[in-house]
Structure 1
Amino acid sequence: MKTYDIIIIGAGASGVFMSYELARLETDAKILMIDKGAYLQKRQCPIKAGAKNCLKCSPCHIMNGYGGAGTLSDGKYNITTQFGGDLHNYVGVDKALELMEYVDEVLCSMGGSDAKLYSTASSELKTTALRNNLHLLEAKVRHLGTDRNVRILGKIFDYCSERIETQFYTIIEDVEVGDDGFFVLTTDKGEKYRCKDLVMATGRSGSKWSSQICDQLGIKQKKNRVDIGVRVELPAEIFKHITDDVYESKIVYKTDKYNDMVRTFCMNPYGEVVAENTNGIVTVNGHSYADPKLRTENTNFALLVSNKFTEPFKDSNEYGESIARLSNMLGGGVLLQRFGDLVKGRRSSARRMEKCFTRPTLQATPGDLSLVIPKRQLDNIIEMIYALDKIAPGTANEDTLLYGVEVKFYNSKIDVDENLQTAVPGLYALGDGSGVTHSLSQASASGVYVGRILAEKYGKKE
């Protein structure tokens, strides 16, 4: 049985930046980072290689592996406390922003300095949005692009490789706490590891696993929300005046019909729509690139409706999964519908799609989203599209494409203290896996934060 000082479970944004900070500070600790996914170089979605539909790889290369779900994303880092998580509630607003600015400095030093830093703070868009009952959230946005993001992560891995041991294609099946206070981990390969400090950095795809471990160890959790919606794709010219100005516009709208909140999420100018596999369920997402040669003629973004539940129902993620399963059952994966067909109450057939002026960037099954998404959420989404049409005319065109479903799963919020440590001494929960953060910037910042705490505990190599 190998013994380590620190074991990090999960090589996503929080795990990567924690390992970077521990390596930079040259801590005396012996460290192992474990992930169930692949090495960075091996992360290739079969769809990118020519497969027509999601093959449901296990584990999913989009979601798992070095860098986590952020690796093959469009590499957007939002420096803000207005959205993206609640890290500021644990470390303070100033500290949270300081940590996110530090993450940005690291990214720039590793090859991200050429990426433009956008800001929504003084944008005319904010005024225009308010005049139309829409609310633009403030943030600084560094867009790296999927291509540049992968290169930067490769440099971070190389920087850490001499100091941090990593193991991929490995699943932790059990975690026990010994009488001596050490954690004992058992893998799917039957191997056992011991450590003094254990860090759960499993990300959203590890939500069920982290909840199970917390239940097993008696750690309190608070059920979080789930966001249900669609991925919108339309000609890039429609949103060009917005994306050229602020790139990532987080716009919130309160619907008249239900008084529910709908928001835009993950805007990808000149990007492509992609499928991703979370726990065997195929949902939809979006990417964009820094290299102009890789850009498309379309822009895509999500429209999401937040759902919170009261007693007796407790499992919000299961609710989201059930809707996604229905989409998978009807469409064999992702469903696609023209907005004009949706509002007219008819399915988008292959024949209707042939006449569509907007060319889809993801091969999906033409169908009827009203058979999948509950009426309340769908009514909210339709109302939001008409609201966006006021500031970006053309959003409500008949040939605007809607892919479904997009689901944002949130881990149950794990009970942690100001150091992101649980009630079990030496057990930390950080990043999106803790339910504390919901973004690349805040997840990475949480990794830096705990990395510094443990570096101070173990001291520097002489």
Structure 2
Amino acid sequence: MYDVTIIGAGVSGIFMAYQLTELHPEYKIMLIDKGKKLSDRNCRARSQQECSCNGCDQYIGFAGLGKSEGKFNYTNDFGGSLGRKIGIAQSEKLMWEVDHILCSFGGDKAELYHTYSLELEEKAKNVGLDVFTTSVRHLGTNLSFEVFQNLYEYLLERIDLRFETDVYSIEKAECFEVTTSTGNVKTKNVVISTGNSGSEWTYAQCEQLGLVPGPARLDLGIRVEMRGDQLTSILKDTFETKLHIQREGFEGTTYCMNPNGRIIRKYQHGLVMPDGQNKREENAQGNNLNFTLFVPSFYSSKEEADNTAQQIIGGINRGGERIVVQRLRDLKKQEATTSTILSSNSIVPSLDGEAGNLIDEVPNIYLRALQEFLDRLEKLIGEPIDGETLLYGMDGKFYEAKIQTNDHFEAEVEGLFLIGDCSGETHSLSQAAASGLYVANLM
């Protein structure tokens, strides 16, 4: 009989398992994941069509999405609602505990930096923008691998780990019985920490237990690629910033700002999207700056949100990997950008997109939000945005529908907990990991 069985070895599950071993070394703990251990996560496919993984190694397995750039933002300004659920002070304390743990396993090789600037905050407010602030420990792919491999080796000596294991059912009687492809598990408590990648499985299990998911959020936005020096005046004291605009009918927030980075293709939920890569990543150094302005929408169900993304982004993809790109000047003129125009553009695209017209392919609310934001940004930096700035359609950020849980992340089924992104409460690595620590502290 296990004391705790954690399903999903992403950051929330890992940090919960770690904390339990520290607080309760006598506990018998199982950590199960559909994917592989970290050293075996080796998908090298250049496209989703080429990938033959049973659950792509790029997203599923030990460390989950923490394996990618390993960017930990320590803030309650964005990245989820953990502060509202457990209290701002408690959330901040736990996120800094996450940072301490990361550093103890080698994360201190990455410098901590801060985005707060009172001067920028005041200037932004004067032009109708808000500044979200954070402290950042950006591990990068290589260091992220090292840190999580160290965590894996630590846990390997203290808990039971099962990889490449499918969980078929979770049933509750006197205790929980978890039926898996590698044998059944009896356990006093079950913690689901499957993140966004396991949403369909999570909902199916919750439905069997009589739990109903609520509304869902979807963020869609246009990724912007501009001259590398365009935002120098507001980035002189910080590596990046996060700006927010709110107007009647929409709000938008910049995400994943990458000075001197590049744009790459991101594969998620069967869709292909433009994504930013930081200059600190291998072969990612460039001359441009890129970010996405995400606009959130809310839907009655996760299925409705996913269908909307499929219609919009899937429509752009046209069954392949197509991403459309347009110059800002042409968008303002409501004219298509042609491949000839693109080939002589002063801002050289870092992603091979198809020249076209976003007006024909992107709902107006996202174009309106971007243009209003760029108008305000011009006032903030004191100069026009270069007309040859490139706009890529379309980026997406997916969220889980919330399964109702109490203040301890416990569902209506006693002993069943949902943590991390699958709880619907966290949307960042730092908040997901902190939720794992929080629930572990209560056990």
TM-score by length of 2: 0.90
Question: Does residue 184 in structure 1 map to residue 150 in structure 2?
Answer: no
* Matched residue SS, 1:205: coil
Output aligned runs, 1:20-419, within 5 Å.
20-25=18-23, 27-44=25-42, 46=44, 51=46, 55=50, 58=53, 59-73=55-69, 75-172=70-167, 174-187=168-181, 191-255=183-247, 258-290=248-280, 294-309=284-299, 315-329=304-318, 332-392=321-381, 396-419=385-408
Which residue does 1:426 correspond to in 2?
A: 415
| Higher mean displacement: 388-397 or 154-163 | 388-397
Change in Cα spacing, 1:224 to 1:291, as seen in structure 2 (3 Å) is: closer
- 8 Å Cα contact 1:147/1:290 also seen in 2: no
Point out 4+ residue stretches in structure 1 off by more than 4 angstroms. 291-294
Distance 1:124 1:301 in 2: 22
Deviations 1:308-336 (A, max 9, x none): 246x9982233223222112217634333
Question: Over residues 241-271 of structure 1, what are the superposed CA-to-partner deviations in whole Å (9 max), with x where a residue is unaligned?
Answer: 434523342211124xx54111111222332
CA distance in 2 between partners of 1:318 and 1:24 (Å) = 43
Q: Conserved in 2, the CA contact under 8 Å of 1:230 and 1:402?
A: yes
Alpha-carbon deviation of 1:276?
Answer: 2.6
Could you tell me whether the CA contact under 8 Å between 2:47 and 2:267 is conserved in 1?
no
Residue 393 (structure 1) shift? 6.0
Change (3 A) 1:184 1:313: closer
Distance in 2 separating the partners of 1:434 and 1:346: 43
SS state of the match for residue 299, structure 1?
A: strand
Letter of the 1:308 counterpart = F
Mapped to 1, the partners of 2:145 and 2:346 lie a distance apart of: 33
Aligned amino acid, residue 299 of structure 1: L
Instruction: Give me the whole-angstrom Cα distance separating, in 2, the residues matched to 1:45 and 1:288.
Output: 20
Equivalent residue of 1:269, what SS? strand
Deviates more, 1:278-287 or 1:80-89: 278-287
Partner Cα distance (1:421, 1:18) in 2: 14
8 Å Cα contact 2:217/2:399 also seen in 1: yes
Q: Distance in 1 between matches of 2:228 and 2:161?
A: 41
176-185 vs 410-419, greater mean Cα deviation: 176-185
1:306 and 1:136 mapped to 2: Cα distance? 17
The worse-fitting range, judged by mean Cα deviation, of 366-375 and 320-329 is: 366-375
Shift in Å, 1:61: 3.4
Distance in 1 between the 2:13 and 2:323 partners? 30
Name stretches of at least 5 consecutive residues in structure 2 with no aligned partner.
Answer: none
How far apart are residue 203 of structure 1 and its match? Answer: 1.1
Q: What CA distance in whole angstroms lies between the structure 2 residues aligned with 1:208 and 1:395?
A: 45
Quote the Cα distance in structure 2 between the aligned partners of 1:57 and 1:398. 41
- Residue 403 of structure 1 and its aligned partner are, at CA, apart by 2.3
Per-residue CA deviation, residues 385-429 of structure 1 (Å, 9 max, x unaligned), is 232233346773233222222111110112111111111112110
Q: Secondary structure at the match of 1:450?
A: helix
Conserved 8 A contact 1:53-1:364: no
TM-score (norm 1): 0.86
**Cα gap change, 1:314 to 1:332, in 2 (>3 Å):** closer
The one-character-per-residue Cα deviations of 1:345-392 (angstroms, maximum 9, x if unpaired) are 333333222112223333333333333321122221222123223334
Counterpart secondary structure, 2:211: coil
Q: In structure 2, what is the equivalent of residue 14 of structure 1?
A: 12
Q: CA, structure 1 residues 435+249, in 2 after alignment: closer, same or farther (shift >3 Å)?
A: same
Within 1, Cα distance between the matches of 2:146 and 2:180? 33
Change in Cα spacing, 1:399 to 1:194, as seen in structure 2 (3 Å) is farther
Contact 1:54 1:276 in 2 (8 A): no
Distance change (3 Å), C-alpha of 1:313 and 1:52: closer
- Please give the alpha-carbon distance, in whole angstroms, between the structure 2 residues aligned to 1:61 and 1:360: 28
**Kept in 2: contact 1:243–1:269 (CA 8 A):** no
Over 3 Å counting, the alpha-carbon distance change for 1:10 and 1:269 in structure 2 is farther
C-alpha spacing 1:20/1:272, structure 2 compared with 1 (3 Å): farther
Which position in structure 1 is the counterpart of 2:431? 442
One-letter code aligned to 2:80: G
Structure 1, residues 273-305: CA drift from partner, whole Å, max 9, x if none? 232322322233223254697532222211111
Cα deviation 1:111-167 (Å, max 9, x = unaligned) = 232433333444321122112111002322233333322222222222222123333
1:223/1:316 contact within 8 Å kept: no
Partner amino acid, structure 2, of 1:113: D
Amino acid aligned to 1:416? T
Contact 2:226–2:290 (Cα < 8 Å) also in 1: yes
CA distance in 2, matches of 1:403, 1:254: 22
- How far off is 1:184 after superposition? 2.0
Aligned partner of residue 156 in structure 1, secondary structure: helix
- 2:128 is paired with a residue whose SS is coil
Aligned to 1:457: none
* Cα drift, residue 230 of structure 1: 1.7
Aligned in 2, Cα 1:26/1:349: closer, same or farther, shift over 3 Å?
farther
